Structure 1
């Protein structure tokens, strides 16, 4: 009996590509000349489709598991999951998404997916952090999403935090801001460290000394507003790079209380392109968009490349806001984010 693997070998493509073509799911996903060649070879070899037999023979179900403790309950989940689903569909896989509320729940969800014969897993976190890998996933194909393996073994994808800080600060420098403050996060997570480093690097490149008095690391609510207010009065910044769009709200509030106009008297850049803050603040907030769709898409492509031991060179990649890194590049894979120009930086 002719197998997809035999067709893939003769056509010089991946098994995923053959699966898409022979299941008539190749339109917009596989180059037309490649699809025609696969069909010709399959017909020549006398291939007959039998999904159940194929699954038993290869030991693959073409099911991927997406495990998250935080992501699926946040405003950013949609982008990550959409990207992951898009890639899974393109590559001939089905994605099952589960959200957990802790280690006990996580272990049960992983065990349930493994009983279905899941071929591999995506393990997602929120806000880019170091994480341990659950013991149940250590012997299965695995990719981390918006997280980094604390042991540096498991492949992962994350935003390029350094360039978030660098690009945002360069935008403020180019706008003519002389005293640029950083409203950071109180938690020393990877994202905070990288964005602060980028902020400092952009200042140094412009010949400006780093001034710790222009940095306020805050959490949220009234203490955060008080810290930003104190920075306004003591240092009088004319530019603000904020760790995220939520922290930019404190800057807007403090400016309004002092009769200052954002986009004229001061300039502000946030991070997230949050659906609420970035679009409802007035003037609208210039912000760095985190690559949620891109991380979801890349993570599935990387996982399939591991499962099939294939570089997936014959697959057509989608157009994305941020460029996708190479599947075989250095780990963790970093996606350089896009700065979205709106109205909060003066011309």
Structure 2
């Protein structure tokens, strides 16, 4: 079933249907859209339709009434797509929300080329775009292109310290706090933290949350238990081995992201240690791999889909979007068997 947060069920997506039916998202799409030139077995078709019914999946509205001969459009600028799964998730959330309101979403990947961004914005503005979402793959402070100020706009996964723009970002400090507190509440006291590279805003904020949780619960902060990794399995592996060479070894390791946890798992198993029997492991991001690790990785969900949806709702709301307002969206825990 889809993850839940704050006691309410998340919107069911095509990905959830595919997982429930044990098929690919492409298969689900072909079945739901009755694609004639793709041969899909009757049993598979039945499984997909049964999953749709069981999960109460709501397809994008069909046959929307559009009062104008031209469907209104929202623009979505993102610096990169291929280097991370999160950009695509944010775009999907924004596209679904836009279409539910009878709007199209046009996406432009710019690689932070300011000249390209300006040309794209000028094109959209000339065509009467309703609003523009400006998204960064990394949570960070940005200087938006000047042309963005000429249209109703919102920043996603980034913020501007110089120009007044509304923005939405993950609540990373609270996410790091919640992850660490979940370990403390389960009795772990010697909790290590393997972070990413410290120039990253997410790495600094998750570390701040870890430190705040230890201080709140009167647990000494041991600098020897804090390691800088690289948000990759290699960093998780190397830094876990370094932690295991200490005496005593940690009873829990909070990894700054799920890829770090992959390397952490490898190092722990190489040393013959059980997860969570000997050492508990916490991740962060809730990437697809987290649920397939053995044991399943407890982690923190980055709300990229929800940020995309929020941005569309914000742009289409009747309120004033010109005043600076940075919203920090909750990063809920996803509990599995690693703690």
Tell me which interval the TM-score lies in, with the shorter structure as reference length. Answer: 0.7 to 0.9
- Counterpart position of 1:195: 206
Structure showing greater relative contact order (alpha-carbon pairs closer than 8 Å, 6 or more residues apart): 1
Is 1:268 aligned to 2:262, yes or no? no
- Gap change, CA 1:171 and 1:301, over 3 Å in 2: same
2:99 corresponds to which of 69, 89, 99: 89
- Counterpart position of 2:19: none
1:225 corresponds to which of 237, 260, 263: 237
Distance in 2 separating the partners of 1:148 and 1:90: 27
Please report how far the alpha carbon of residue 114 of structure 1 lies from its aligned counterpart in structure 2 after TM superposition.
2.9
Is 1:298 aligned to 2:310, yes or no? yes
Distance in 1 separating the partners of 2:123 and 2:306: 28
Structure possessing the higher radius of gyration over alpha carbons: 1
Q: Over aligned residues, Cα RMSD in angstroms?
A: 2.5
Distance in 2 separating the partners of 1:257 and 1:227: 14
- Counterpart position of 2:337: 343
Residue segments in structure 1 that go unaligned for 5+ positions in a row: 1-27, 29-48, 56-60, 311-326
- Counterpart position of 1:99: 109
- Counterpart position of 2:175: 164
Listed one character per residue, the Cα deviations across residues 246-295 of structure 1 (whole Å, up to 9, x for unaligned) are 1111211110111001121111111111112x023211101111101110
Instruction: Calculate the TM-score normalised by the size of structure 1.
Output: 0.72
Listed one character per residue, the Cα deviations across residues 85-130 of structure 1 (whole Å, up to 9, x for unaligned) are 2221233322111212231433333333333221211000113111
Residue segments in structure 2 that go unaligned for 5+ positions in a row: 1-57, 59-65
1:252 corresponds to which of 241, 265, 281: 265
Please report how far the alpha carbon of residue 65 of structure 1 lies from its aligned counterpart in structure 2 after TM superposition.
0.3
2:133 corresponds to which of 100, 122, 125: 122
Instruction: Calculate the TM-score normalised by the size of structure 2.
Output: 0.74
Q: Does the CA-based 8 Å contact 1:245-1:271 persist in structure 2?
A: yes
Provide the secondary structure at the position in 2 that maps to 1:234.
Answer: coil
Q: Does the CA-based 8 Å contact 2:234-2:260 persist in structure 1?
A: no
Provide the secondary structure at the position in 1 that maps to 2:150.
Answer: coil
